[in-house]
Amino acid sequence: MRLGVDYHQAYAWSRTRKGGWAIAQSPILTTTITLSRLAQRGYESMLDHCLKVRPEQTFMGVSCTS
């Protein structure tokens, strides 16, 4: 088992004919590639990056200066 999915389920999901947008909105990615796993591998969220680069800017109602 890798990334929380057993071998047979991963194989079945790999054979899908869905397009990229459909896959992005499906359990295929939401159960395997999580924000915590991305953070463990050193990736940062777009919001965190924007707040680091432009702390005076408000993004989605979040501001570092408030």
Question: Cα separations (Å) of 5 from 29, 30, 33, 39, 61?
Answer: 11, 11, 11, 19, 35
Residue 33, pLDDT score: 81
User: Model pTM?
Assistant: 0.51
More confident residue, 40 or 4: 40
Strands (E), the chain: none
**Domain boundaries defined on the chain:** 7-53
Which tens digit of pLDDT belongs to each residue from 28-43?
777 888 888 888 999 9
Residue 1 pLDDT exceeds 60: no
Span 48-52, mean pLDDT? 83
- 27-65 per-residue burial string, b: 16 or more CB within 10 A, e: under 16: ebeeeeeeeeeeeeeeeeeeeeebbeeeeeeeeeeeeee
Residue 23, pLDDT score: 75
